[in-house]
């Protein structure tokens, strides 16, 4: 195990600081010092160098995938770029204004009703993380957090999840694993970043959505027990908008959810993916444009190893 930890600590600053926090229980002072280095070196710095003069990335707000402002900013969050980074805050302001109407409240309300729920979850994640919620600065970013949360709460389906086709397809009666994880990550980020209003409602919604995932054993039909889609069983990073078992489990450990026996199937699957050297690989890459590859497909992945180890650590605490 120590050899794997050492290998993780030899990686990018984004890997190092999360290893210190999640696997080594380092003091906040120590891991935050490492986190601060993400802005000036490694993967975050490479993404920041691609920012254009407008404050965006890739020539678009949501497309092209995966070089647009939305997906670049999501990666900067996942990598752990500090919340107060000025370049990222500028990018999120541009994104929220461009996709949801800026300071025009009527235009914002109309745009929010039309927005794909996956994207609403992403917008909430970015607005909450790169906003200044604890201080309530009244910036455009901060003022959009509560209505984004409200939209997600009002669109939760009876089975506990969300589906991006809701409102566009009258035949939608079942939630999507993809949409549900995008929404859950947005809601969890809002809670972690200091959400006050609607917090109890958000945590109750998260619990219902976790029940939806557990009913599906993270990747199986709740009716037949068959694998819903083989793609869900293959580990990826970056995951973009796509769902997979590791992404679902990583949300559970992040929320410190109860260790429910219905998760054992997914845990066993995750353990089966471990290589002989104790690491986990990248098994798939979602096609599209990208600025660079963090890791090589089929090779040991620091990202997937870090995430798998913190999931197993969470699971073991419930034994």
Look at residue 168 in the predicted model and tell me its pLDDT: 79
pLDDT tens by residue, 199-257:
999 999 999 999 999 999 999 999 999 999 999 999 999 999 999 999 999 999 999 99
Which pLDDT value is given to residue 318? 47
Residue among 295, 246, 211, 305 at smallest CA distance from 42: 295
What's the token pair of residue 246?
């590791």
Structural domain harbouring 136: 2-317
152 SS3 class = helix
DSSP 176: B
For residue 51, what is the domain's CATH number?
1.50.10
pLDDT digits (tens, 9 = 90+) for 184-198: 999 999 999 999 999
* Mean pLDDT taken over the chain: 95
140: pLDDT confidence band, cut at 50, 70 and 90? low
Closest to 51 (Cα-Cα) out of 14, 8, 86: 86
By CB atoms closer than 10 A (0-12, 13-18, 19+), residue 142 is middle
Q: In angstroms, what CA-CA distances link 59 with 10, 76, 116?
A: 34, 17, 21
- Phi, psi (degrees; rounded to nearest 5) at 49: -65, -15
Assess contact for 251 and 181: CB atoms under 8 A.
Answer: yes
As a whole number of angstroms, the distance between CA 9 and CA 302 comes to 9
- pLDDT at position 103, please? 81
- pLDDT higher than 70, residue 37: yes
Q: Got the DSSP string for 185-252?
A: HHHHHHHHTT--TTHHHHHHHHHHHHHHHHHTTTTB-TTT--BS-GGGGS-BSS-TT---HHHHHHHH
Q: End-to-end CA distance of the chain, in Å?
A: 20
Beta bridge partners of 227: 220
* Entry pTM: 0.96
Report how many domains make up the chain. Answer: 1
Q: What are phi and psi of 275, to 5 degrees?
A: -80, 170
Per-residue pLDDT at 263: 98
The string of pLDDT tens digits covering residues 66-99 is 999 999 999 999 999 999 999 999 999 999 999 9
User: Alpha-carbon distance 107 to 48, whole Å?
Assistant: 30
Two structure tokens written together for 65: 């995938």
Please list the residues that pair with 301 across neighbouring strands.
Answer: 280
């Amino acid at each position: 195990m120590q050899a794997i930890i050492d290998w993780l600590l030899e990686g990018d600053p984004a890997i190092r600081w999360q290893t210190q926090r999640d696997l080594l229980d380092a003091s906040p002072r120590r891991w935050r010092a490492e986190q601060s280095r993400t802005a000036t070196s490694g993967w975050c710095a490479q993404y920041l160098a691609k920012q254009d003069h407008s404050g965006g990335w890739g020539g678009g707000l949501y497309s092209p995938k995966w070089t647009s402002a939305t997906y670049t900013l999501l990666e900067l969050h996942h990598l752990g770029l500090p919340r107060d980074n000025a370049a990222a805050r500028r990018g999120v302001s541009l994104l929220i204004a461009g996709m949801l109407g800026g300071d025009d409240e009527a235009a914002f309300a109309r745009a929010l009703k039309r927005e794909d729920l996956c994207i609403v979850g992403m917008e909430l994640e970015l607005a909450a993380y790169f906003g200044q919620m604890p201080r309530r600065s009244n910036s455009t970013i901060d003022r959009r957090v509560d209505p984004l949360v409200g939209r997600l709460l009002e669109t939760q389906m009876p089975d506990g999840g969300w589906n991006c086709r809701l409102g566009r397809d009258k035949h939608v009666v079942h939630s999507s694993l993809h949409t549900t994880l995008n929404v859950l990550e947005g809601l969890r980020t809002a809670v972690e970043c200091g959400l006050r209003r609607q917090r109890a409602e958000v945590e109750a919604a998260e619990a219902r959505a976790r029940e939806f995932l557990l009913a599906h054993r993270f990747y199986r039909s709740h009716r037949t027990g068959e694998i819903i889609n083989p793609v869900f069983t293959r580990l990826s990073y970056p995951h973009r908008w796509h769902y997979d078992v590791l992404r679902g489990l990583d949300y559970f450990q992040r929320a410190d959810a109860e260790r429910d026996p219905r998760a054992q199937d997914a845990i066993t699957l995750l353990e089966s993916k471990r290589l002989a050297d104790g690491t986990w690989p990248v098994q798939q890459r979602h096609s599209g444009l990208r600025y660079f590859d963090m890791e090589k497909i089929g090779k040991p992945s620091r990202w997937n190893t870090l995430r798998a180890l913190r999931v197993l650590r969470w699971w073991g605490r419930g034994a």
